[in-house]
Chains A and B, each alone.
Chain A
Amino acid sequence: MTTLNVRVAAVEQVTELVKHFTLVQQNGQPLPRFSGGSHVVVSMNINGRNHRNPYSLMGSPDNTESYHISVRRQEQSRGGSVYMHDQVTVGSELQITYPVNLFAISKLAHKHILVAGGIGITPFMSQIADLNRLGQHYELHYAYRSPEHGAFVEQLREMCGDRLHCYVESEGQRMSFQQLLSQQPLGTHVYTCGPDAMVKTLLLTARDMGWPESHLHSEQFSAPPIGDAFVISLAQSGIDLEVPGDMSMLEAMEEAGLEPPFLCRGGACGRCELEVLACDGALMHNDHYLSDAEKTAGNKIMPCVSRASCQKLVLNI
């Protein structure tokens, strides 16, 4: 997997919980161009263990001098975001992957409705730069908890003008998906990123209202949840590995020196999919990639975020 070595050029505390990092190449070269909605995976060495988290690029794709990511502090997580907040400062060196886009704007849409919740605003910021440049017709609907949590609102107002609509929960402002999605012109696409409940409700509402699947776009990265330890048995190589409670299967394989494929590490892209040959317990799917039917069938699993509650899981790798 192609990677870039970057240095942190600036850190900004945006809200109480959100920090914004500016990254430049260590060798001083311009960074690769990218398309709005892309993300990179950041590697961090935490206590000798390699953690990798996906973050959306939120700068303008026209800017090849620096990349911009924002990290929301998640106390109950396995430490990646806390590490970014507490250990990463100006001058820190990090390794990131080349940008990957799993949340691209549709080039054939006549209108784009962007719906963000909380830190889910980040991928829209690079998308908006593209939409502005291409002169596209769009609206941004941005919901957050309270005025203090409205990250980047000023910047967004500058970028979007009156196409920005804010919904401040603490002030009782709520978005009505039903209303938002009715009476949109033919050829409108809707994009959503944010808390799980919001994304699910919006997609359900749209489907109920008869929106075609191809006009619905969402991006959600799961963090690998903490669970019980279990053993994976890699059928092709004959290796058995213990997956500790605070590691994903993907990380356990990497820790053992293997290089299984991945792109997003958040259960969104499908690149890491593995075939399950046997399991003496239950699979615990945490991804957004497999269909419900595939999850029930139980012969595929996404090792970047999913686990099993079992003694031994046999994988075809």
Chain B
Amino acid sequence: MNTPAFKHETFRDDYSFSNSAEAIRRFPFPFPEDDYMYSVNIEQHEPGAPGSVLEHLIDIDEHYLAECEDRRLTLEQDPDRCIITPHMIDAQWDMVELVMESLAADYPQWFSLSKNGDDWHWINTPMGIDQQFRFGDASTLPMPPFEFITRQVQGDWIIMDQRDDDLFADMGMVTSQADWSIAFDAGMSFKEWHGPVPQANEIGVFDRALKYLLHLQYGSPVRRLNWTMTVNPRLDTSPENYPFWGPDNVSVTPENVGDKVYLRVELQALFRLPRSNAIAFSVRGYLISLNELVTYPRWGKRLHRILKGLHPDLSEYKGLDHYRQTVIDWLAPMDDGADLGLGTQPE
């Protein structure tokens, strides 16, 4: 993409967040057909089209600085959003390497990494960070290596230790989650933390996904999309802060729905980490208001059909029940019933 100017905007209080025309165009719309059900929708995380959110391993967009600032505010109020257990020390450094190397290679205009053996020099120009440190020596960084690097990248990161043919969420930086908590899920296994998800276990999704992930290879990351909806462009929809955002769910009216309701898509990428043999799970969220979304009529029609046919258990689990009908009613006049064909493209 062209070098975006980083926007000054907020994800709380006055909610000044919005997408530029360019950001709308590259939005990772998740519905290739008119129906939706959970599936093992995992594919190779290979570079996608230039300009798309898949162009690089880790996507940096116009919301970069604002999202990092929102993370800083959340951590200030609640440091437990970053959980690090001592046996994950190798994984902390693996993460430093993964993020610094890919950002420096993909966005040389903003990030630079130079190495002299284990003496590394990292420059993050947008955030004004210039740090020399010794790779592998945590005392040379101002904070734990995992926290240092995940404060400088968009999206949540959960790092799983692999043992006993299972994955355990033993480290995480989670400040923009869809109503779950790393402090609660820390140390849980793959099936345990997926416990609340309806329908998926019954159709074997988690058995197959876990088997696949245990064999995930270094150098061959994979990705999948997940989605939900949210009222107001709020990143921190955590169970801890439910009192601050939960009531918003009943504030949706036919008049404000286009403005207040957001589709929230998570681009989830999974990387095997080399030194620790752990797996990094990144959850990169993209928000788009319904008003922005329907600037592409194809997307508006598709979303209308998805919401109309959504399984009631999924609707309840995703927390849509309070306002789903209002959204459907608002989208209905824009859907002429035309055959949209397959694919997620905007036009």
Query: B194 on the interface (CB 8 Å rule)?
Result: no
**Is the CB–CB distance between A214 and B163 below 8 Å?**
yes
User: Which of B164, B219, B276 sits near A35, CB closer than 8 Å?
Assistant: B276
CB neighbours (8 Å) of A33 from chain B are: 94, 97, 274-275
Bound-state CA distance A57–B164 (Å) is 22
Provide the A83-114 mask, 1 if CB < 8 A to any CB of B, else 0.
Answer: 00000000000000011110010111000000
CB neighbours (8 Å) of B215 from chain A are: 263, 269-271
Provide the B194-222 mask, 1 if CB < 8 A to any CB of A, else 0.
Answer: 00000000000000000100010111100
User: Which of A1, A61, A269 sits near B220, CB closer than 8 Å?
Assistant: A1
Provide the A263-275 mask, 1 if CB < 8 A to any CB of B, else 0.
Answer: 1000001110000
* Known A2-B219, A108-B87, A271-B215; contact A34-B274, beta-carbon cutoff 8 A: yes
User: Which of A35, A106, A269, A270 sits near B163, CB closer than 8 Å?
Assistant: A106
A35 to chain B, nearest CB (A): 4
A289 to chain B, nearest CB (A): 11
**Is the CB–CB distance between A35 and B220 below 8 Å?**
no
A95 to chain B, nearest CB (A): 14
12 pairs, CB–CB < 8 Å, chain A vs chain B: A2-B220, A32-B219, A33-B275, A35-B90, A35-B274, A98-B217, A98-B218, A99-B218, A99-B274, A100-B217, A101-B277, A270-B215
Q: Tell me the nearest residue of chain B to A105, going by C-beta.
A: B277
B23 to chain A, nearest CB (A): 32
Bound-state CA distance A104–B89 (Å) is 15
Residues of chain B having any CB pair with chain A under 8 Å? 87-90, 94, 97, 161-164, 211, 215, 217-220, 274-277
Range class of the A interface residue count: 20 to 34
B287 to chain A, nearest CB (A): 33
Provide the A33-45 mask, 1 if CB < 8 A to any CB of B, else 0.
Answer: 1110010000000
Most buried by A among B161, B164, B211, B220: B164
Bound-state CA distance A34–B89 (Å) is 15
In chain A between 202 and 222, which residues have their CB closer than 8 angstroms to a CB of chain B? 214
Provide the A106-132 mask, 1 if CB < 8 A to any CB of B, else 0.
Answer: 111000000000000000000000000
CB neighbours (8 Å) of A101 from chain B are: 277
CB neighbours (8 Å) of B161 from chain A are: 107
* Known A101-B277, A104-B277; contact A32-B163, beta-carbon cutoff 8 A: no
Bound-state CA distance A269–B162 (Å) is 14
* Known A32-B274, A61-B275, A101-B277; contact A107-B217, beta-carbon cutoff 8 A: no
CB neighbours (8 Å) of B89 from chain A are: 134
Bound-state CA distance A269–B277 (Å) is 15
CB neighbours (8 Å) of B218 from chain A are: 32, 34, 98-100
B130 to chain A, nearest CB (A): 25
Q: Tell me the nearest residue of chain B to A2, going by C-beta.
A: B219
Q: Tell me the nearest residue of chain B to A212, going by C-beta.
A: B164
CB neighbours (8 Å) of A107 from chain B are: 87-88, 161, 163, 276
Q: Tell me the nearest residue of chain A to B211, going by C-beta.
A: A270
Bound-state CA distance A2–B211 (Å) is 19
A106 to chain B, nearest CB (A): 6
A144 to chain B, nearest CB (A): 28
Bound-state CA distance A291–B63 (Å) is 50
Known: A32-B219, A104-B277, A134-B90. 5 other contacts (CB 8 A): A32-B274, A33-B97, A34-B275, A99-B274, A108-B87
Q: Tell me the nearest residue of chain B to A33, going by C-beta.
A: B274
**Is the CB–CB distance between A108 and B219 below 8 Å?**
no
**Is the CB–CB distance between B217 and A1 below 8 Å?**
yes
Bound-state CA distance A61–B274 (Å) is 9
A100 to chain B, nearest CB (A): 6
Most buried by B among A35, A61, A101: A35
Provide the A221-255 mask, 1 if CB < 8 A to any CB of B, else 0.
Answer: 00000000000000000000000000000000000
Most buried by A among B88, B89, B90, B161: B90
A256 to chain B, nearest CB (A): 23
CB neighbours (8 Å) of B97 from chain A are: 33
A206 to chain B, nearest CB (A): 15
Bound-state CA distance A104–B274 (Å) is 12
Bound-state CA distance A246–B78 (Å) is 62
